[in-house]
Amino acid sequence: MSLEKQDDFDHRTWLKRKDLTPIETVFLTALIYIDKRLRIVDYLELLEDAYYKVNLQMPKSHTEQYDLDNKFWYWYPLYSLGFFSVLAYIVAAVSGALLGFYYSPSAAGDPTVAYQSVKMIMQDVQFGYALRSIHRWAAQIMMAAVFLHMLRVYFTGSYKEPRELNWLLGIILISLSMVFGYTGYLLPWNQLAFWAGQIGVEMALATPIVGEWGAQLLFGGFTLGQATLVRMYILHVFILPFVVTALIALHVGIVWVQGIAEPH
């Protein structure tokens, strides 16, 4: 059914037709109301058109290519690892946002506040122990899934033309996921965190030419302190979530447009 656009078209009379069920009438009234103001039907049609045009350019699926009918290919479960990474990422994001209600990076120049707040989450907050465990496990499971997903893409040759850009985007994603993990690891400001931070500063300082500048930028100086923790905190909760979410959306969007590759 097409929604008429002429000025003399009377929607009210048209909607009173006998053959419409009450649900259809409510749906169409809402659709016409929104469409009159935002022209969504036009834009949806444009989007649909673009989608089909792009899809025509895409290679055949594995099933079509090898004329497999609907036979189950036994490597297919490994094709779910990318989606599994997305799920783990969502669990980490939601549990992380909840942890954010209780965690505090530092106060008045005292980074031990962070350690105290994690201790409080573990001991006093209802389900705090579970929340922190879910966040930590989700992050680790995500890293494992992303790595295995990369192996799947590599061994099925799915990185080849026309998917090279998505492979490069994947490299950026796995690198940023590691930075995500590292910045989160430092947040409890316990012994593990402190010494992992120390290794980070020393690695930065050992880098030729840009070492000192890198240590200043990332760790807030040559020794660990409140500036280090606040930098890690802002990266972990303010910058990386937006950047990584946007890049995952782009990565999955490209898969949607290109279709899944047949194994080479």
In the complex, the residues that contact ligand HEM under the rule CB under 6 A are: 79-83, 85-86, 89, 146, 149-150, 153, 158-159, 163, 166-167, 170-171, 173-174, 177, 248, 251-252, 255, 260-261
Comparison of 98 and 173: residue with beta carbon closer to ligand HEM: 173
Comparison of 132 and 251: residue with beta carbon closer to ligand HEM: 251
CA distance linking residue 114 with residue 197, whole number of Å: 15
Comparison of 77 and 221: residue with beta carbon closer to ligand HEM: 77
- Cβ-in-10-Å burial (0-12, 13-18, 19+) of 208 comes to exposed
DSSP states of 184-199: HHHTT-SHHHHHHHHH
Output DSSP code: residue 107: B
Other CB atoms within 10 A of residue 250 CB: 14
Q: Do 176 and 240 contact (CB within 8 A), yes or no?
A: yes
Q: How many CA atoms lie within 13 A of 241 on its CB side?
A: 16
Comparison of 147 and 194: residue with beta carbon closer to ligand HEM: 147
In the complex, the smallest distance separating the C-beta of residue 191 from ligand HEM, rounded to whole angstroms, is 29
In the complex, the smallest distance separating the C-beta of residue 179 from ligand HEM, rounded to whole angstroms, is 12
In the complex, the smallest distance separating the C-beta of residue 145 from ligand HEM, rounded to whole angstroms, is 8
| Nearest Cα to Cα of residue 32 among 13, 11, 9, 16 | 11
In the complex, the smallest distance separating the C-beta of residue 197 from ligand HEM, rounded to whole angstroms, is 24
Q: Do 255 and 261 contact (CB within 8 A), yes or no?
A: no
In the complex, the smallest distance separating the C-beta of residue 136 from ligand HEM, rounded to whole angstroms, is 17
Contacts of 183 (CB under 8 A, 6+ apart): 232, 233, 235, 236, 240
Comparison of 94 and 260: residue with beta carbon closer to ligand HEM: 260
Of all residues in the shown chain, the one whose CB is closest to ligand HEM is 170
| φ and ψ at residue 44, rounded to 5 degrees | -65, -40
In the complex, the smallest distance separating the C-beta of residue 259 from ligand HEM, rounded to whole angstroms, is 7
Comparison of 104 and 140: residue with beta carbon closer to ligand HEM: 140
